[in-house]
A and B are shown apart, each in its own frame.
Chain A
Amino acid sequence: MDLHTLSLSGLGKLLQTKQVSSVEMTDYFLTRIGNNTDLNAFITLAPELALEQAKSADKRINSGNSSLLTGVPVAYKDLFCTEGVQTSCGSKILSNFISPYNATIVERLQNAGMVMLGKTNMDEFAMGSSNENSYFGAVKNPWNLNRVPGGSSGGSAAAVAARLSPVATGSDTGGSIRQPAAFCGITGIKPSYGRVSRYGMVAFASSLDQAGVFATAAEDAAVVLQNMAGFDPKDSTSIDKPVPDFQLELQQTLSGKTIGLPKEYFSEGLDADIARAIDSAVELFKSFGLNIVEISLPKSELGIPCYYVIAPAEASSNLSRFDGVRYGYRSEHTDDLVDMYRRTRSEGFGDEVKRRIMIGTYVLSAGYYDAYYRKAQRIRRMIAEDFDNAFKQCDFILGPTTPTTAFELNSKVDDPVAMYLNDIYTITANLAGLPGISIPCGSDKKGLPIGLQLIGKYFDESGLLAMAHQFQQHTDFHKQIPTGYQA
């Protein structure tokens, strides 16, 4: 049976009706991963643990104590701590780190009975937009192996796009779920800041990081997110608010709601194919009875500079714990303490990580703090106000997820600023803490997928999922499987 062509709920039904066991399903996907190592989507596979989890999932299903997720495989981005399994964060410095504990979301999905296939590749410490910054090598885009899958959650996006795993987790600090979802032609949701616990997710920029989900369809993402979300007493920034029934909300009435199109997202620099695809998507939404208004997010252009002060500042401090003292990589021959720090961190971190640590250290330094960090915080508030004002006129903000489709491997590695510009449409949602989703809405002349982004009001993941789901009820972009991965 072609299990990989099924959605999560399709797989769930097979398990519940005992047509396929979780062990068989797990084995199927592990084999599929093994046959497609060219993508380099995984850093670590956990076949023994997976089969063990699959067995206990089968028991649960047999005893009637199961949910739709029980026995369904999942892949975790390699920055979620997984007990007993390497958690490398795509870095040499954690290449020998076996976590002794589970991240809250891992714990929750495990409690629901999901089976962990392995850990997906990523840009080192989630810093990157192409997944070329991984100590474990670049990930390839299943739509075109010469292209990047996007980043930083490139491994998760490629794995789901190639149907190596029905769903995968990701993290999004400036676009790291939405941009790779767009490049790989799948659905990726970044919830509101505070919706999902960050406990056990290795921190990049604490005030921006948020865990989310990749799936082929929005309805699958809704089920997984349902099980991940909710207050966690171990994370002081998680919000103690009830989680709505996302599945039920998929059917909510959208007619009469308003979509705002920010004029700043449709200016020059936007690829013509992308512009066309977005236009037709807008037409489809119109046909659902949604109103369309033009809005303005005047501070959008400040998003990238603002982000590249705040995120590195927090990262420079968050990454200080990787010092070779207690765990992780330690340089072998060192003269003294300072030498140990210097060599360990010089050898253990890659260039992009070092670049951001240096930027972050600089902007927090005495004499520069006000000019950079404090100013960036002020701009961050202004960007949030932009959204507040926009949401007085509309319920959803719609635009392209990225200015271009997937670019070629090695084409931007030497130009960090060009690389950073990839996140121009996604980054402001992180700065404002808002939820965002990217769904496929077409492909360009080269056959590469195009992503459509929806940004919602604070804590309105339900609305985003409903918009995405109802769009997908009328389109089949999300059902496209890249050639070479269909069989």
Chain B
Amino acid sequence: MSFEAVIGLEVHVQLQTRSKIFSGSSTAYGAAPNTQASAVDIALPGVLPVMNKEALKMAIKFGLAVNAQINRHSQFARKNYFYPDLPKGYQISQFDLPIVANGHLTIDLDGEEKVIGITRAHLEEDAGKSLHEDFHGMSGIDLNRAGTPLLEIVSEPDLRSAAQAVAYLKKMHTLVRYLEICDGNMQEGSFRCDANISIRPQGSTKLGTRTEIKNVNSFRFVEKAINFEIERQIDLVESGGQVIQETRLYDPDKDETRSMRGKEEAHDYRYFPDPDLPAMIVEQSYIDQIQQTLPELPDKRTKRFVDEFGLSELDAAMITQDRALADYFEGATGCAQGNGKTVANWINGELSAQLNKTDIDAEHIPVSVEQLGTLINRIDDNTISNKIAKTLFQQLWQQPSDITVDELIEQQGLKQITDSGAIEALVDDVIAQHPEQVQQFKDGNAKVIGFFVGKIMKASQGKANPKQVNQLLQQKLS
């Protein structure tokens, strides 16, 4: 029998508000333990939560971006459980009335599109952190993170493979950064995910018993964890066993999932509406106002880059994946007389290589859009060669400066030699110095032309126009 996997994802997105969701404390990452925990965050007796409007705005922004319904009436609820890093003994979350419901996201896998349903997205507060090292048999509690706003995005069980799950996550990751509601930093836990996985015989429409894998924090681990879990379930069923409903933990070191708690140990969270926070009533006009501020989203932008600049689907998708990169592309293209294709080649070639090498993100590219645009223009009008342009690009990357590309070319005397007299003299010189290679060419070895070009470019310090050099060589040698 062959099996089909059924996967649903819960993504926790940390919203990048400046203050916490129910208090005025800073949300900045990495401060000394408990220095960003106010009376409200540590749940002193008598304190009360006050909703951060910015978090609501971000949730609505997200809802609109996934074509979801924004619930005009939503409500916070208390999720009750005891844990030392949960100061109130309950987490303020949303239960039966989430702010966002019924949206969808389209993923693209090997050229095939698939629409993944988004059941809901709700606002909630993050817990603090328990630190189990360095305390000699005790645990430390850091409540800096307690109260950080989260948007929990729950998908329908529409995903059928680990690859699809990763494609969905990547798409979501791109989207939330596009919307500027999350920094997407997975190491710091700003974007994390739980996966619900079940299997069923191919062709069946009934859902199997699912397991939940908690807190997997990289795309690679998500893929591995899901694949492991699917295999585990199939092996189990094929050997006559049954999948039991439980929560499992992925161990990246051993590449396996382990049972964390079974259904019997599942918490009864005793959700009920939080009496400290009245229902949130959102006016349609407010939603409309937020709609106006939505940026052009990745899918639409990809399509426009293809239509407007003639980019390949692949190049366009690559560039639009990152909003800052796409902005850079548009900026540079504007400076390069609309020559988007060439800009795209630069971005996917030279620039991406530098980004990877230097671990800089697209928001902080040291070469300005004007500089890249002018470099391209100067190649175009034969002022410099491609090779010199690349050298200059690297120079600017390593030593960022406000200097214009034209000034740089002038300063370093890199203007391409297009004077045919001067080039001819160089060509003649090199031919005269290498009779042996001239003979080889005459004997039919056409490849040797490269040798001559190389010598001439070197003699000209790269400034000779390679096209002209080629033409002249062909003329003189034949």
Q: Is B200 an interface residue (CB 8 A)?
A: no
Q: Is B42 an interface residue (CB 8 A)?
A: yes
Q: Is B276 an interface residue (CB 8 A)?
A: yes
Are A321 and B272 also in contact (CB < 8 A) when A198-B48, A234-B48 are?
A: no
Q: Is B90 an interface residue (CB 8 A)?
A: yes
The answer on a CB contact under 8 Å between A199 and B46 is: yes
Are A237 and B278 also in contact (CB < 8 A) when A199-B46, A326-B42 are?
A: yes
The answer on a CB contact under 8 Å between B46 and A234 is: no
Q: Determine the distance from Cα of A316 to Cα of B78 in the docked complex, in whole angstroms.
A: 11
CB distance from B34 to the nearest CB of A (A): 10
The listed residue with most A CB atoms (<10 A of its CB), out of B51, B80, B89, B270, is B270
Give the residue of A317, A323, A327, A366 whose beta carbon is less than 8 angstroms from that of B44. A327
Are A236 and B276 also in contact (CB < 8 A) when A321-B89, A365-B268 are?
A: yes
The answer on a CB contact under 8 Å between B46 and A236 is: no
Q: Is A462 an interface residue (CB 8 A)?
A: no
A 202-236 binary contact with B (CB < 8 Å = 1; else 0):
11011100000000000000000000000001111
Q: Is A256 an interface residue (CB 8 A)?
A: no
Are A207 and B46 also in contact (CB < 8 A) when A317-B90, A321-B89, A325-B84 are?
A: no
Are A373 and B268 also in contact (CB < 8 A) when A321-B89, A341-B82 are?
A: no
Query: For residue B141, which residue of chain A has the nearest CB?
Result: A325
Q: Is A141 an interface residue (CB 8 A)?
A: no
Query: For residue A91, which residue of chain B has the nearest CB?
Result: B45
Q: Determine the distance from Cα of A365 to Cα of B278 in the docked complex, in whole angstroms.
A: 22
Query: For residue A338, which residue of chain B has the nearest CB?
Result: B82
The listed residue with most A CB atoms (<10 A of its CB), out of B44, B268, B278, is B44
Query: For residue A362, which residue of chain B has the nearest CB?
Result: B270
CB distance from B170 to the nearest CB of A (A): 36
Q: Is A87 an interface residue (CB 8 A)?
A: yes
Query: For residue A208, which residue of chain B has the nearest CB?
Result: B275
Q: Is A28 an interface residue (CB 8 A)?
A: no
The answer on a CB contact under 8 Å between A89 and B45 is: yes
Query: Contacts of A316 on B, CB cut-off 8 Å?
Result: 80, 270
Query: Contacts of A361 on B, CB cut-off 8 Å?
Result: 270
Query: For residue B34, which residue of chain A has the nearest CB?
Result: A326
Choose, from A92-100, A407-415, A451-459, the stretch at the interface.
A92-100
Q: Is A112 an interface residue (CB 8 A)?
A: no
CB distance from A197 to the nearest CB of B (A): 9
A 336-360 binary contact with B (CB < 8 Å = 1; else 0):
0100010000000000000000000
Q: Is A103 an interface residue (CB 8 A)?
A: yes
CB distance from A26 to the nearest CB of B (A): 26
Query: Contacts of A369 on B, CB cut-off 8 Å?
Result: 270, 272
Q: Is B237 an interface residue (CB 8 A)?
A: no
The answer on a CB contact under 8 Å between A321 and B43 is: yes
Query: For residue A93, which residue of chain B has the nearest CB?
Result: B45
Q: Is B277 an interface residue (CB 8 A)?
A: yes
Query: Contacts of B47 on A, CB cut-off 8 Å?
Result: 199-200
CB distance from A404 to the nearest CB of B (A): 31
The answer on a CB contact under 8 Å between A202 and B272 is: no
Q: Determine the distance from Cα of A292 to Cα of B44 in the docked complex, in whole angstroms.
A: 48
Within B229-275, the residues touching A (CB, 8 Å) are 268, 270-272, 275
Query: For residue A233, which residue of chain B has the nearest CB?
Result: B50
The answer on a CB contact under 8 Å between B270 and A364 is: yes
Q: Is B49 an interface residue (CB 8 A)?
A: yes
The answer on a CB contact under 8 Å between B89 and A199 is: no
Q: Determine the distance from Cα of A200 to Cα of B45 in the docked complex, in whole angstroms.
A: 7
CB distance from B24 to the nearest CB of A (A): 10
The answer on a CB contact under 8 Å between B272 and A373 is: yes
Query: For residue A235, which residue of chain B has the nearest CB?
Result: B48
Are A364 and B80 also in contact (CB < 8 A) when A81-B46, A201-B46 are?
A: yes
The answer on a CB contact under 8 Å between B275 and A81 is: no
Q: Is B120 an interface residue (CB 8 A)?
A: no
Q: Determine the distance from Cα of A216 to Cα of B82 in the docked complex, in whole angstroms.
A: 44
The answer on a CB contact under 8 Å between B49 and A81 is: no
Q: Is A314 an interface residue (CB 8 A)?
A: yes
CB distance from B73 to the nearest CB of A (A): 16
Query: Contacts of B141 on A, CB cut-off 8 Å?
Result: 325-326
The answer on a CB contact under 8 Å between B43 and A100 is: no
Q: Is A313 an interface residue (CB 8 A)?
A: yes
Query: Contacts of B42 on A, CB cut-off 8 Å?
Result: 326
Q: Determine the distance from Cα of A17 to Cα of B294 in the docked complex, in whole angstroms.
A: 65
The answer on a CB contact under 8 Å between A103 and B270 is: no
Q: Is A320 an interface residue (CB 8 A)?
A: yes
Q: Is B281 an interface residue (CB 8 A)?
A: no
Query: Contacts of A89 on B, CB cut-off 8 Å?
Result: 45
B 61-84 binary contact with A (CB < 8 Å = 1; else 0):
000000000000000001010101
Q: Determine the distance from Cα of A236 to Cα of B141 in the docked complex, in whole angstroms.
A: 28
Query: For residue B42, which residue of chain A has the nearest CB?
Result: A326
Q: Determine the distance from Cα of A23 to Cα of B115 in the docked complex, in whole angstroms.
A: 75
Q: Determine the distance from Cα of A413 to Cα of B58 in the docked complex, in whole angstroms.
A: 52
Query: Contacts of A101 on B, CB cut-off 8 Å?
Result: 39, 44
**A residues within 8 Å of B by Cβ?**
79-81, 87, 89, 94, 97, 99-101, 103, 198-203, 205-207, 233-237, 313-314, 316-317, 319-323, 325-327, 337, 341, 361, 364-366, 369, 373
**Interface pairs (22), CB distance under 8 Å:** A79-B46, A81-B46, A87-B46, A97-B45, A99-B46, A100-B39, A101-B39, A103-B46, A198-B46, A199-B47, A199-B48, A236-B278, A237-B48, A237-B278, A316-B80, A320-B88, A320-B89, A323-B89, A337-B84, A341-B82, A364-B270, A369-B270
A94-B45, A99-B46, A321-B88 known; 11 new pairs, CB 8 Å cut-off, are A81-B46, A97-B45, A99-B44, A99-B45, A234-B48, A237-B278, A317-B78, A317-B272, A321-B87, A323-B89, A364-B270
**B residues within 8 Å of A by Cβ?**
39, 42-51, 78, 80, 82, 84, 87-90, 141, 268, 270-272, 275-278
Closest 5 CB pairs of A and B: A320-B89, A207-B275, A206-B275, A364-B270, A200-B46
